[in-house]
Amino acid sequence: MMIKIHNYGKIPAKKNRMRVYGKRMIKDKTTRTFEAMLKARAIEIMNAIGHPIITGPVKLHLDVTFGDRRRRDLQNLFGSVCDSLNGVVYDDDHQIMKLSGSKVYKRGEWEYTITIITLKHNEGTPWPADNT
């Protein structure tokens, strides 16, 4: 099974987005807003295709288009995306066995596509099963 989520806008980098208030760690408003929006979009897509939450291993691929030429680290975007899809597309992001991404630059265009592909249980583990 393959699930695609395409959207326009920026993905906030999760790096340095947590704030400490007393003894609590809190996500900033930009990250919370993005995660709520992506979660709602994922729920809409999962309901439209009538697919239950994935319980096995998955591959996640992220294609990002940046609207300016500023240098950005692609890996910093995965945290917000993976956390947003917890409990909606898959049970938990620990199920992600393969992670990949790509980025391109197009002036003024901000968009991203998230592709989630279910894997067979033996596909997700690159090492042999322990038979002991």
pLDDT tens profile 52-105: 999 999 999 999 999 998 888 899 899 889 999 999 999 999 999 999 999 999
Fold category of 2-118 in CATH: 60s Ribosomal Protein L30; Chain: A; (3.30.1330)
Average the pLDDT over 107-112 and give the result.
Answer: 96
Least confident of 6-20, 55-69, 104-118: 6-20
| This model's pTM is above 0.95 | no
b/e per residue 52-87 (b: at least 16 CB within 10 A):
eebeebbbbbbbbebeeeeebeeeebbbbbbbbbbe
